[in-house]
Amino acid sequence: MTTSSHSYSSSGDSCSERSGMRTSGTSVLSSTSNFTISSTITSQSVSTKFFIPSSSISTFGEYQIEHIDTESIWYRKYFIHKKHPTFVGNVEPFGPVIISIALDCKTINNNRDAVYWYRYILRHKDLPDDRGLLVGPPQTPLSDPPWDVLLRRISREFAQSKLTKLITTPELSEELLSLDENRLQKAYKIGLLYCAPLQTTEEEWFSNTTTSISFTNFLELLGTKVRLLGFKGFSGGLDTNLDGTGEYSIHDDKTFKDYEIMYHVSTMLPYEKSNRYQITRKRHIGNDIVCIIFQDEPKPFSPFAIRSQFLHVYVIVSPVKCKVDSYHVEVVCKNGVPYFGPPLPNPPIFDDPISLKKFLVATVINGQNAAWKTPKLSDPFYRARGGIIRDIVNKSIPRMNMDILLTPPQSPKKLSQDELNSILKGLFVDQLKYKGKPPDISLVKDLLEKGANPNIRIPQPKPLKESSASSSNDNLDDSYFSSTLPTPSSTTSSSLPSSSLSQYSSFKLPNILFATIALTDDPIYVKFLINYGVETMPKDNHFPNAFVFSATYKRVETMRCLLENIPALSDPKSVDTAINDTYNSVYSKNTQNNVLNGYGTYGNRIWYNFTKFKNQIRGK
């Protein structure tokens, strides 16, 4: 579908326009509204004008940057340079909360009475944060204001007895600043894929080594060609030390002030003659969220033409025949991407290169901001954010214990390798025992960065008497597999045996990747583990490789992720060999007299039953 834009309006932040109403950082689609209200504070009538700020946009000339929380800079702008308390605690229905409150300013009302304004930020696991202004009691140099009164005005659920007041140290301020501005993005990496005439598949597009004059002219329009070796600007993940990702790329930091884009240009990334799938090129562009598709000749483009977990928005550009420097533009998105702009003109043709460049930059930035709100991309972020808030709350509350306050400060104990491994193992064992979800990704990341081994073996709980592959925590509809995978109850000689999962239950899982696959189908979690060095082809001969293990659990998204990120699994022969090596040694006695269509080994028979499923995974 082609997207278009809402009309936004922005507001100022003057101290004369205050409210007792709470504001948030969500997208505000309506125009600024003005009201007059009356608040009674200590028997004084206070009349003031307030606004609902439009906090989701920044304006650059005729274009707007949308789907960003511009109020996320509140802590940097209004709190960090002031002395202020921080309140933490676990309060239902919010869960772990972190509240910052600071005196903002003092105004004089119509009765010449002083009015004290307090600014607050309420952080919890969900976004947006609650931010607002409160009218409160006076604050004097000799005493603090009654914080309990202010907390109750934020929410009736808050009382100082439920929350712990902390002294806001510089270390805590840095943590809160990082938490608040985590999604305030100013640098973007955008894919740029060249499609020659008559090409129809991603293998052909990623294999292009020559381009057209039209594409060369388009690159000059889009940005500056930079030498990657020694480049000091935003690199977008490209190698600036050893030329490992090519010698040149296209960079732009001049279109919008403070915004920077590095383009992953397919024909500038390294080409591998022996690799049909061009894994190096696909690894960069396939992990982008927005991609510009340049077609020498315009043709319909499907957002599913490129197999990727991350690509959600495509901007299709093609030159207009018989018109110099004219381009036709379309925008297509995967389902779930919210509405974003700028709107395409009618007809969607740009005759001015400068106007085209501004439009494209605004579109790719807004498209990526909007795509972050899809469940596929936002769920892992929310899990990590919730974990960070919980960690800050849990580690802060014990500071108020008198025993801790009276204990001389000590250097934190550095955990040994065995202790780190034991903690990591325990996280996964508990989830396997109760068939839960994988441990919080932020906790796992912290342990791995401290030196925990991702390839430790994970004990499994004793299996129940009656269990099946479908009993694992998975939300996929089994009907999807009804035509591709054999069911445990199938009686044909070529079906996957009902013991295909129980055969693993008596052995320790090879590592935390296999434990994750047993728990859920989360490709982003799997990619995270791959990046931290987890083994996909275990040394334990009781288990197959991670792809085959995922197949037995019907983890379709995980299988796609493994094929995209592990080159060896992109080769069907390698997968066949891995299956045969795993199963032939175990099942050869049971399959010597049972040959199906020439497949004389159990591994081959598994792959025979997965043929249709395999083709779906590879997009054929």
Q: Are residues 199 and 178 in the same domain?
A: no
Do the Cβ atoms of 304 and 205 come closer than 8 Å?
A: no
What range defines the domain where residue 435 resides? 416-460+506-584
Helical H runs in 305-401?
Answer: 353-371, 375-396
Report how many domains make up the chain: 3
Is 559 part of any domain? Answer: yes
Residue 340's pLDDT is what? 94
* One domain, residues 221 and 154: no
* 3-class DSSP state of 168: coil
Altogether, the residues listed in the chain come to a count of 620
The answer to whether residue 348 is domain-embedded is yes
Residue 401 lies in a domain: no
pLDDT at residue 433, rounded to an integer: 78
What is the three-class DSSP state of 514? helix
Task: Report the b/e string of 487-520 with b at 16+ CB within 10 A.
Answer: ebeeeeeebbebebbebbeeebbbbbbbbbbbbb
Residue 252 near residue 193 (C-beta atoms within 8 A):
no
Pick from 95, 101, 144: nearest CA to 124 = 95
- pTM of structure: 0.56
CA distance 533 to 455: 8
Beta strand pairing call for 187-195 and 290-295? parallel
Task: State the CATH number of the domain containing residue 98.
Answer: 3.30.1120.160
CA distance 180 to 80: 12
Answer yes or no: is 8 within a domain: no
Give the pLDDT of residue 503: 56
Contacts of 573 (CB under 8 A, 6+ apart): none
- If asked whether residues 175 and 220 sit together in one domain, one would say no
Q: 1 in a domain, yes or no? A: no
Residue 51 phi, psi dihedral angles, 5° rounding: -135, 160
Asked if residue 539 belongs to a domain, the reply is: yes
Query: Are 213 and 130 members of one domain?
Result: no
Kindly report the three-state secondary structure assignment for every residue of 97-124.
Answer: EEEEEEEEEEEECCCCCEEEEEEEEEEC
Same domain, 246 and 346: yes
Query: How many whole angstroms from its chain centre is CA 92?
Result: 27
Place of tokens 């989360």: 522
Residue 609 lies in a domain: no
Q: How far apart are CA 434 and CA 457, in angstroms?
A: 18
Segments of 145-215 assigned E as strands:
164-167, 187-195
The confidence score (pLDDT) of residue 552 equals 81
Of the three residues 155, 182, 209, the one that is the final residue of a domain is 182
CATH code for position 538: 1.25.40.20
Residue 544 covered by a domain? yes
Dist. CA 378–CA 441, nearest whole Å: 13
What single letter denotes the amino acid at residue 59? T
Last residue in a domain, options 376, 407, 434: 376
Give pLDDT, residue 506.
64
What local confidence, expressed as pLDDT, does residue 220 receive?
A: 95
Indicate whether 427 and 348 sit together in one domain.
Answer: no
Q: Does residue 372 share a domain with residue 421? A: no
* Domain co-membership, 104 together with 177: yes
Q: What is the mean pLDDT of each run of 10 residues along the chain (620 residues)?
A: 36 38 28 29 29 43 83 92 91 89 87 86 88 84 77 83 86 92 90 94 93 95 95 94 94 91 96 89 94 94 90 96 90 93 92 94 95 92 90 74 48 77 87 80 87 89 48 36 35 37 68 90 90 85 82 85 75 56 46 42 48 56
Q: Do 348 and 428 share a structural domain?
A: no
Q: What pLDDT does residue 467 have?
A: 38
In a shared domain, residues 131 and 226: no
Give CA–CA dist 562/555, Å, rounded: 11
The residue from 182, 212, 238 where one domain ends is 182
Measured at the CA of 122, the angle between CA 118 and CA 126, to 5 degrees, comes to 155
Please tell me whether residues 447 and 532 are part of one structural domain: yes
540 and 448, same domain (yes or no): yes
> What CATH code is carried by the domain that includes residue 308?
3.40.50.11210
